[in-house]
Amino acid sequence: MKAIPVHQDQDILSAAARLAGEDMCSINDLSSAEVRAIMKLGHDVKRNPREYRHALDAKQMVLMFEKASLRTRLSFETGINTMGGNAIFLDQTNSPLGERESIADIARNVERWVDVIVLRTYAHDTITEMAANSRVPVINALSDFEHPCQALADFMTLEEHFGSARGLNFTYVGDGNNVCHSLMLTGAQLGANVTIATPRGYSPDIEIVMLAREKAAANGCEVRLTQDPLAGAEGADAIYTDVCVSMGFEHESTKRAPIFRPFQVNEALMARAARHAVFMHCLPARRNAEVTDAVLDGPQSIVFDQAENRMHAQKALLLLLLGGLSNTASFTGLV
């Protein structure tokens, strides 16, 4: 079956029309078709970067980060720069948003100067409050509740390796944290069977679980929870883990270490997965804690493909939120 040219793809055209000027605070802000559109556009941006070189000419993006960052900052900055726009970074690590002046007042100032606001915060409420008070799009680049940009890049990476996420058996092992939440929602939107293996007391938020199961039912897949990491890994196409102590929870390190030790992704656990299975991690990794060196550096690991695709998935997202396709040659006149 011949592939539909990206500029004629109905998912992309519909997403471009609906998402222009909108926020992306959560994967739940996107329909299944819109998640598919970001995947398709991300692949095309990666294959044909020259086609998008001037798509965001003169667009201004501000990044306001309360947390340290390597991949998120650089992937957003390089992404918009390679499409003709400009990135402005504001380090908020020593002055949390809302401390010096209200978030509403910040939004009403910043919206006068820039075209999009990218936030990396502790409290998810900071992102939703900024979005409620801003006339320009707000993007969640990480909060304590979700990490949607990471999940979009991760499933784009899975599509590269398997052709499609539909029907894949995806297993997350570890803490039911922000990354876990976004992965559940994204997998359910794309038709992947998602298994979450967490220790007792560290399961993902029940409302996110119910929402993901609702989306999974609509897309012909399922979301399953277990407290047995080996059973969860059985036959999986992809095994994913994250640190067991997220930023902001460092004070729980000593308590969490023995609880999460049985959930380490090592060669024994990977042996339970399918022979073709890949290993994934959002990085940074605590080597030989949640994952062993042998797995992280091994032939099944695709962690650096994930890191690379942060830029491409985020470029696709920026193009849709900022109406950039109308400035792209192949899309001119179609959006």
User: Can you tell me the distance from the alpha carbon of 253 to that of 203, in angstroms, rounded to the nearest whole number?
Assistant: 17
Q: Write the CA distances from 330 to 102, 156, 182, 209, 334, integer angstroms.
A: 42, 22, 31, 39, 9
Does residue 120 have an active-site annotation? yes
Shared domain check, 223 and 204: yes
Does residue 242 have an active-site annotation? yes
Among 236, 231, 154, residue whose Cα is nearest residue 187: 154
Catalytic position from the list 181, 281, 310, 312: 310
Let me know if residue 319 belongs to a domain: yes
Does residue 105 have an active-site annotation? no
Does residue 305 have an active-site annotation? no
Shared domain check, 81 and 178: no
Q: What is the CATH number of the domain that holds 75?
A: 3.40.50.1370
Mean pLDDT of 287-292: 96
Shared domain check, 248 and 182: yes
Shared domain check, 90 and 216: no
Shared domain check, 195 and 206: yes
Name the one residue in this structure whose structure tokens are 């100067």.
113
Let me know if residue 1 belongs to a domain: no
Catalytic position from the list 7, 36, 43, 147: 147
pLDDT value for 246 = 65
pLDDT above 80: residue 248: no
Which bin fits 177, alpha (ψ -120 to 50), beta or left (φ > 0)?
beta
Does residue 282 have an active-site annotation? yes
DSSP state for residue 331 in the 8-state scheme = G
Shared domain check, 247 and 293: yes
pLDDT value for 249 = 67
Q: What is the pLDDT of residues 38-85, one digit of tens each?
A: 999 999 999 999 999 999 999 999 999 999 999 999 999 999 999 999
| Host domain of residue 43 | 6-146+310-326
Q: What is the pLDDT of residues 216-234, one digit of tens each?
A: 999 999 999 999 999 999 9
Q: What is the pLDDT of residues 142-199, one digit of tens each?
A: 999 999 999 999 999 999 999 999 999 999 999 999 999 999 999 999 999 999 999 9
Catalytic position from the list 25, 149, 244, 282: 282
Shared domain check, 213 and 78: no
Does residue 161 have an active-site annotation? no
What domain count does the chain have?
A: 2
Please provide the average confidence, as pLDDT, over all residues in the chain.
Answer: 95
pLDDT value for 335 = 41
Let me know if residue 113 belongs to a domain: yes
